[in-house]
Amino acid sequence: MTDYAPLRLHVPEPTGRPGCKTDFSYLHLSPAGEVRKPAVDVEPAQTADLAYSLVRVLDDQGNALGPWDPQLSHEQLLRGLRLMLKTRIFDARMLTAQRQKKMSFYMQCLGEEAIATAHTMALRDGDMCFPTYRQQGILITRDYPLKDMICQLLSNEQDPLKGRQLPIMYSSREKGFFSISGNLATQFIQAVGWGMASAIKGDTKIASAWIGDGATAESDFHTALTFAHVYRAPVILNVVNNQWAISTFQAIAGGEGTTFANRGVGCGIASLRVDGNDFLAVYAASQWAAERARRGHGPSLIEWVTYRAGPHSTSDDPSKYRPADDWTNFPLGDPIGRLKQHLLALGIWSDEQHEALHKELEAEVIAAQKEAERHGSLVDGHVFSAANLFDDVYKDLPEHLRRQRQELGV
Amino acid sequence: MNAMNPQHGNAQAVTSMTMIQALRSAMDVMLERDDNVVVFGQDVGYFGGVFRCTEGLQKKYGTSRVFDAPISESGIIGAAVGMCAYGLRPVVEIQFADYVYPATDQLVSEAARIRYRSVGDFVVPMVVRMPCGGGIYGGQTHSQSPEAMFTQVCGLRTVMPSNPYDAKGLLIACIENDDPVIFLEPKRLYNGPFDGHHDRPVTPWSKHPQSQVPEGYYRVPLDKAAIARAGSELTVLTYGTTVYVAQTAAEETGIDAEIIDLRSLWPLDLDTIVESVKKTGRCVIVHEATRTCGYGAELMSLVQENCFHHLEAPIARVTGWDTPYPHAQEWDYFPGPARVGAAFKRAMEV
């Protein structure tokens, strides 16, 4: 006989599955305006409480409250709304285009628009972002041409990546948008290396690293935190916790009973946990972390709490693993609706203006799409010549690739 | 020797160096010449590396150019890729080639592919140095030869020197090259050439002509093999430590073998190989790495494809066995002069 009951393997489960309702109490929300704002040179260990609470500015009535209110100008607020709306409309149009089989694949960022746009607005030109596949808002904020994005999605004759990459895996050095890789988490440590390089050269540019909740389980999440801490790299380590990694709830990534922000504190990195659907909180926290990095006080980690409102990708059907109406119950709401409510409360915006802006942006996206489609697509065979498939493997074409190109007859 | 070689311009002072000193000199030269060159890895900073290859470099260039890294191979390679995106030219070290596996994702999925996937928008002019090879009682995780893991990755260059002169010239060429390079250093050759006769005392590099290394800048071209021994009866394709094994086997068997030190494993110098095999009609491939799907299989395929009508005997290969690298059975595993010589004889008898 033994005093011990048999051990049992614990496998976390989400509270909400198809046909029932998610209990979002696990999120541990803080009221708007109540979380303190430390100095940018705060000691990482002094941010432990922040890693377990939630920085929020906008309350449920659309009022901006507390020390994190970034005091943005009306112009900046309106720009933020415009960028988020543009990102959402772009996603919606591209989703439709994928359904029409004009492109092979697409991934929306529905519900996460505030994070990439407000964050990028708080950066400077020249700061380098190392995004995942769900930060298209960075390119849109930095005015990368929509037409070029769509040409990449169509893999057509004007695809900047010459048809070599799966749709959405954009790259633009000019816009500080590092080449997207299909391999998760790899860019997180690369961002730290970029920040180290900036410090080695005595530059004042900083790096912005991006990862999702699920991908924090990859080993490069940990290498990034270790290197960022060891070398005090000027980098912002962004963890977008949208609660889901395809079908896997964030608890399976290690989120049960803890936070992703807390990992930063454990590695000696100043960390924040922020309402990712609160445009003002995203801007303020990003500005704080950017200032901290640029002043040489070291890295920051920010967990953005949000919700992946759409399917993981056009190849995914979320109704098979989570409640269909989950987003409507998510307590942090919709980032666009919340900023709009704030602008209405300020008296600088109206439903009519919102409707007009929506139409204007839709027309802009449609025009870009038409312009891009003039250059063909994967479907109609108007793609880059096969001759280019051998280029850029190496800087110069080596002999074996010259022979293989000849063999293909191009 | 070679001090007047036009490859490295004006005559310059020449010093006798070990491979360790030559590699250190290459990094010293490039740290001096190019502000964007940085050197880091485990124990490479203050301590100067567990093999002394970076001794004194941190003191000379400062901690922002030469520094110690956490024990994280994917972290080292991943950070270096990010530095390349900024515009630096990192020369990083993996302490033993046996420990490169945690960095595989960063090497294969990232470093090798970034130029291609971004259409040259981002590039990775990085060199990854790693001591490799056996013959030192290193056991399973201090003796491996993982070159075939890299030669099959499109976008990577794989290079392995066999003497101090080439080591410095090739390393400089690799640092200046804009592609990511896996630079494998046979640690068995760090202090002196080794022909597999473990029963005899090893001679230091100072007794060898290729230890005469120019003190300044010079390059040994990539994608160019060297004829380590000219011969007419048999072509031997090899690199690293087994270059010396093959030379000794040729002397001991009296077979007039032409021994080609490939130096650049991939991309490689196919013309030199084909020219030699067409001349001799026979080919033996020698490497320390395990046989199945080893780099030798690709060499065999290339020779078969390009020299079929000139071959007078089956292409043979002498390699490590398809086992992990053992400790106590070191000399039964390592392809020494007896095994290599026997293969030479068989190739001549057909």
Mean pLDDT of A109-114: 98
Element (H, E) at B277: helix B270-280
Mean pLDDT for the stretch of residues A35-62: 98
Q: What is the mean pLDDT of residues A203-216?
A: 98
Contact B155 A201 (CB under 8 A): no
Question: Collapsing DSSP states into helix, strand and coil, what is residue B183?
Answer: strand
Question: Hey, are the CB atoms on A193 and B85 less than 8 Å from each other?
Answer: yes
- Residue A193 has its nearest CB partner, among B80, B102, B105, at B80
Report the predicted TM-score, pTM, of the whole model to 2 decimal places: 0.97
pLDDT band at A2 (very low <50, low <70, confident <90, very high): confident
Instruction: Determine the Cα–Cα distance for residues B24 and B53; give it in Å rounded to an integer.
Output: 5
Facing residue for A223 by CB, picked from B78, B117, B267: B78
* Banded model confidence at residue B1, pLDDT cuts 50, 70, 90: very low
* pLDDT average, residue stretch A361-369: 98
Nearest to B119 among A161, A224, A398 (CB): A161
- HSE value, Cβ hemisphere, 13 Å, CA-based, for B137: 2
CA angle A35, A48, A71 (to 5 degrees): 30
Distance from CA of A157 to the nearest CA of B (A): 14
- Chain A closest-CA separation from residue B51 CA (Å): 24
Residue A131 to residue A139: CA distance in whole angstroms: 10
Q: Does the pLDDT of residue B321 top 70, yes or no?
A: yes
Which pLDDT score is estimated for A30? 96
What's the average model confidence in pLDDT over B174-199? 97
Q: What is the pLDDT of residues B41-59, one digit of tens each?
A: 999 999 999 999 999 999 9
Best A200, A203, A237 residue to mutate vs chain B (most B CBs within 10 Å)? A200
Mean pLDDT in residue range A199-214: 98
Please tell me the predicted confidence (pLDDT) of residue B194.
Answer: 97
A224 with B78: Cβ contact below 8 A: yes
Chain A residues closer than 8 Å to B116 by CB: 164, 392-393
Asked whether B245 and B336 are in contact (CB, 8 A), the reply is yes
Tell me what ipTM this predicted complex has: 0.97
Residues of A within 8 A of B121 (CB-CB) are 171-173, 179
The confidence score (pLDDT) of residue A378 equals 85
In this complex, the residue of B82, B102, B117 whose CB is nearest that of residue A190 is: B82
Distance from CA of A51 to the nearest CA of B (A): 25
Cα separation, A226 vs B76, in Å, equals 11
Contact B207, B11 (CB under 8 A): no
Beta bridge partners of B318: B286
Looking at residue A209, what is its pLDDT? Answer: 98
Contact A393 B154 (CB under 8 A): yes
Kindly determine whether residue B86 and residue A219, on different chains, have CB atoms separated by under 8 Å. Answer: no
The burial class, CB within 10 Å (0-12 / 13-18 / 19+), for B338 is: middle
Mean pLDDT of A260-265: 98
Q: Out of A171, A197, A398, whose CB is closest to B82?
A: A197
> Can you list the positions of beta strands (E) in B203-291?
212-214, 226-229, 234-238, 257-261, 264-266, 283-290
Q: Do A197 and B64 touch (CB under 8 A)?
A: no
Let me know if B197 is a catalytic residue. Answer: no
Sign of CA dihedral A150, A152, A156, A160: positive
Comparing CA positions, the residue from B11, B20, B37 lying closest to residue B177 is B37
Rounded Cα distance, A353 and A93, in Å: 21
- Helices (H) then strands (E): counts for chain B: 12, 14
Closest-CA distance, A173 to chain B, in angstroms, reads 6
What are phi and psi for residue B335, nearest 5 degrees? Answer: -75, 90
Q: Which residue, among A187, A220, A392, would best test binding to B if mutated, counting the most B CBs under 10 Å from its CB? A: A392
* pLDDT of B29 over the 80 cut: yes
Q: Contact B267/A400, CB-based, under 8 Å?
A: yes
| Closest of B287, B6, B336 to residue B162, by C-alpha | B287
Distance, in Å, from the CA atom of B265 to the CA atom of A161, rounded to the nearest integer, reads: 30
Backbone angles phi, psi at A290, to 5 degrees: -65, -40
Calculate how close chain B gets to A318, using CA atoms only, in Å.
29
Q: Per the residue annotation, which of B142, B208, B287, B310 is the catalytic one?
A: B142
Q: A329-359 pLDDT, tens per residue?
A: 999 999 999 999 999 999 999 999 999 999 9
Distance from C-alpha of A355 to C-alpha of A361, rounded to nearest angstrom: 10
Say whether A207 and B119 touch across the interface (CB within 8 A).
no
Which residues, at least 6 apart from B198, have a Cβ–Cβ distance to it below 8 Å? B135, B330, B331, B336
State the alpha helices, DSSP H only, in B87-156: 104, 114-117, 147-151
Confidence at B10, pLDDT banded by 50, 70, 90: low
CB A83 within 8 A of CB A307: no
Residues of chain A found within 8 Å of residue B113, distances taken between Cβ atoms: 181
Can you give the pLDDT at residue B4? 42
Which among B86, B102, B155 has CB closest to A194?
B86
Interval B208-265: pLDDT, tens? 999 999 999 999 999 999 999 999 999 999 999 999 999 999 999 999 999 999 999 9
Contacts of residue B164, Cβ cutoff 8 Å, sequence gap at least 6: B17, B18, B19, B21, B22, B205, B210, B211, B213
What is the Cα–Cα distance from B53 to B51, expressed in whole angstroms? 5
**Residue closest to A95 by CA, chosen among A158, A166, A155, A153:** A153
Å between A198 CA and nearest CA of chain B = 7
Is the pLDDT at A325 greater than 90, yes or no? yes
* Structure tokens, A410: 């191009």
Report the chain A residue with the minimal C-alpha distance to residue B178.
Answer: A395
Q: Do B82 and A198 touch (CB under 8 A)?
A: no
pLDDT of residue A71: 97
Closest residue in A to B181 (Cα–Cα): A394
Q: Chain A neighbours among B 30-89 (CB < 8 Å)? A: 38, 64-65, 70, 72, 74-75, 78-83, 85-88
User: Is A204 in a helix, a strand, or coil?
Assistant: coil
The average confidence (pLDDT) of chain B is 96
What are the residues facing B184 on neighbouring strands?
B130
B155 contact A CB<8A: yes
**At A264, is the pLDDT very low, low, confident or very high (cuts 50, 70, 90)?**
very high
Nearest C-alpha of chain B: how many angstroms from A179? 6
10 Å Cβ neighbour count for B292?
11
Residue A317 above 80 pLDDT? yes
Asked whether A241 and A306 are in contact (CB, 8 A), the reply is yes
**Mean pLDDT for the stretch of residues B90-95:** 98
A1 confidence band (pLDDT: 50, 70, 90)? low
- Closest residue in B to A166 (Cα–Cα): B117
Give the closest of B79, B115, B267 to A399, CB-based: B267
Which residues on B lie below 8 Å from A232 (Cβ)?
none
Contacts of A200 in chain B (CB under 8 A): 38, 64-65, 83, 88
Place of tokens 């300044």: B216
Beta strands in B12-85 (DSSP E): 14-16, 37-41, 66-68
Give the whole-number percent of chain B exceeding pLDDT 70: 97
The two three-digit tokens of residue B330, written as one number: 């070191």
Instruction: Tell me the two tokens of residue B185.
Output: 């250093």
